[in-house]
Amino acid sequence: MKKATFPAILSTAIVCYVFWLLITGQLVSLIQGKPAVQQLLAGLIVSIGVALFSARFFIHENPFYLFNPAKFGSLLAYIPVFLVELTKANIDVAKRALSPRLPVNPGIVKVPVGLESEYGQSMLANSITLTPGTITMDVVEQDEKTYYYIHWIDVASEDPEEAGEAIKGTLERGVRRIWK
Partner 1 sequence: MRIVVDILIAFSAFFAFAGVVGMLRMPDSFCRMQSSTNVSTFGVLGVIIGGALYAGFFLGNAEMVVKILLLGVFYIVTSPISGHAIAKGAYRHGVKMTEDAVCDKYGEDME
Query: Interface residues with partner 1 (CB under 8 A)?
Result: 22-23, 25, 27-28, 86-87, 90, 93-94, 96-98, 102, 104-110, 125-127, 129-138, 140, 149, 151, 153, 155, 158
Give 31 or 70: the residue with its C-beta nearer to partner 1: 31
Distances (CA, A) of 48 to 8, 54, 78: 12, 10, 32
Which lies closer to partner 1 via its Cβ, residue 5 or residue 93? Answer: 93
C-beta of 29: minimal distance to partner 1 in Å? 9
Nearest CB to partner 1, comparing residues 68 and 105: 105
What does DSSP say about strands 107-113 and 145-152: parallel, antiparallel, or unpaired? antiparallel
Q: Which is nearer to partner 1, 47 or 131 (CB)?
A: 131
- Residue closest to 131 by CA, chosen among 162, 103, 170: 170
Alpha helix stretches (DSSP H) within 59-147 = 69-98, 118-130
Tell me the closest approach of the beta carbon of residue 136 to partner 1, in angstroms.
6
Minimum gap (Å) between residue 131 Cβ and partner 1: 8
Q: In the chain, which ranges are continuous DSSP H helix?
A: 6-24, 26-31, 37-58, 69-98, 118-130, 160-176
Q: How far is the CB of 6 from partner 1 (least distance, A)?
A: 25
Q: Are 152 and 133 in contact (CB under 8 A)?
A: yes
